[in-house]
Amino acid sequence: MIVNIRRHVYPILLAVSSLLQTVPCVAQEVSSSYGLQHDAKILIDSIAFEGNRRTQTSALRKVVRIRKGDSVDAAIIAQEVERLKRLPSLAHVEFELRGENRDILLFLLEENFTLIPFANFYTSDNDEFAFRIGLQEFNAFGRNITLGAFYQRDIFDSYGLQFRAPFLFSRHLGLAVNWTSLVTQEPVFLDSGTADYRYSNRSFEVLGLYQINFKNRLELGINYFTEDYAYLQGATDPNVPQDLKVNKSLVKFIFDHNGLRYHYHYLSGFRSILNVQYVHSRDSGQLPDFWIGFNDFLYFARVGQRGNWANRLRLGLADNDPTPFAPFAVDNNLNIRGVGNTIDRGTAAIVLNTEYRHTLIEKDWFVLQGNVFVDGGSWRNPGGDFGDLTERNNLRIYPGIGLRFIHKRIFNAIFRIDYGHGITPDAAKGIVFGVGQYF
C-alpha cells in the first residue's frame, strides 16, 4: 500500500517542486517593464499617490514600505507596485519618478468599485437547488477593510457576518472576525445506506493576521462553534446517533506564500496556502479530538495575450476515524463542478482543478472570457487506507466548459457559469453559478 501511494502522490509533489524552482522573481520581472536599471539607486525625497478618490492616502502609506530618505532601486519600487495591486481597492497601479532629480515617487492608481453584491447558485441533475447571496464592502472607511454579510438557502436558512482588516494595527498586523450560522441537509454515508441529517453549525472566530514580508503571511486564531446533527430520513445504524449536539473549539493556522503577479483579470506565478486545524470537543468524552490539514498549490501562466492557464492542486489529510461525518466533502461548490451537493466524504483528499481561460471580448471595462476545464479528485474512505485514493470507485473526473463575465474596475466582479459532466462511473452533471473565479 505504501508503494501505491508513493507512485501516485510523489510525482505530483515533484511537479509542484519544479514549478517553485521555475517561477521567476516577481519583483525583478515586473521592474524590467518600467525601463529602469535594476541596480540603479534612487534617493527618495517624497512619495505621493494619484487617483485615489475613495482610498485614504494614510492607508496607502501604511501599506507601502518605502519612506522618505530611503535609497531604493527599480526592483524595490516594482515590488511596492505589486503590493498595491493586491489591495482590493485598486484595479491597477503604475509609478513615475518626477522632479529634477527624479526623486519624487508617484504611484498612479486606478481604483476598483468595492461595494459588491455576490451570488452563488448550484445544482445538479439529482440535487436540490441551492444559493448564497450577500454583500461585501472591500474598502470600508477607505482603509481596505472588508465588511460582509450573506444569506444562504440550501433547504434550510443560513447567515454570516465578516470583518477583515489586514492593516488594522500596523503594516504587518491585522485582525479578522467571523460569525456564521450554517444549517444544511447533509448526507451521512452508513454501511446500510445513506441517511439525511439536518446539520447546524454556529460559530464565532477571531484570527490574528501577520504579514511577514512581500510574499509570506500568517493567520492564527481560535473558533468556538456548536455542531448539531438531527436525523431526517434514510438508513439508520445503531452505532450512529440520530441526534447529536456538541460544543467544540478549534485552533487554526494558515501560512500563505503568494508569488502571484496581477494584471487586471490575468494571473501568473505560484501560490501555496497551508491550512491546519486542531479540533477539540468541549463536552468531555462526547467526541474525540482530531486534526485536519490541507494545502492548496496554485499555478497560473499567461498564454499569449489573451490566454490564462490556471491550476489548483489540493492535498488534504485528517485523522482517520471511521466516522460518517468525515471532514473532506465531494461538492459542487468546493472542488468538482457538476458532481452535486456533498455527495461523499473522506479523511484524505487529492484534488486537481485545471482550466484554460481565454478572453473572447475585451472592451474598455468589460471582458467576456471562455474556459474549458477538467476537475478530478479522489478520497480516502473514513477508517480506510491510502490505497482508497487509487480505487476506481473513489475517483471522480469531470470535464466541462464555462463563461466569465468580468468588470475590470469592480473588485472581484466576475460572474461565472460552469457546466461539468462526469466521465467516471455513476457520474452526474450540473451547472454551477458564482461570483469570482472558481479558484
Number of Cβ within 10 Å of residue 199's Cβ equals: 21
End-to-end CA distance of the chain: 32
**CA–CA separation, 398 vs 422, rounded Å?**
4
Q: Tell me whether the CATH fold assigned to 15-111 matches the one assigned to 113-435.
A: no
Number of Cβ within 10 Å of residue 408's Cβ equals: 17
What's the CA dihedral at 7, 12, 14, 17 to 10 degrees?
A: -160
The residues near 37 (Cβ < 8 Å, ≥ 6 apart) are 73, 74
Burial of 136 by CB count in 10 Å (0-12 exposed, 13-18 middle, 19+ buried)? buried
* Angle ∠(157,164,267) on CA atoms, nearest 5: 95
Q: Domain boundaries in the chain?
A: 15-111, 113-435
Q: List the CATH code of the domain at 15-111.
A: 3.10.20.310
Q: List the CATH code of the domain at 113-435.
A: 2.40.160.50
pLDDT in tens, the chain (439 residues): 333 434 444 444 444 444 444 334 444 544 455 455 556 789 999 999 999 999 999 999 999 999 999 999 988 999 999 999 999 999 999 999 998 888 999 999 999 999 988 877 766 555 567 888 999 999 999 999 999 999 999 889 999 999 999 999 998 999 999 999 999 888 888 878 889 999 999 999 999 999 999 999 999 999 999 999 999 999 998 888 899 899 999 999 999 999 999 888 999 999 999 999 999 998 866 678 899 999 999 999 999 999 999 999 999 999 998 877 788 988 888 899 999 877 788 999 999 999 999 999 999 899 999 999 999 999 999 999 999 999 988 999 999 999 999 998 888 889 999 999 999 998 999 899 888 899 9
Q: Could you tell me the three cell numbers for 433?
A: 453559478
The residues near 230 (Cβ < 8 Å, ≥ 6 apart) are 197, 198, 200, 242, 243
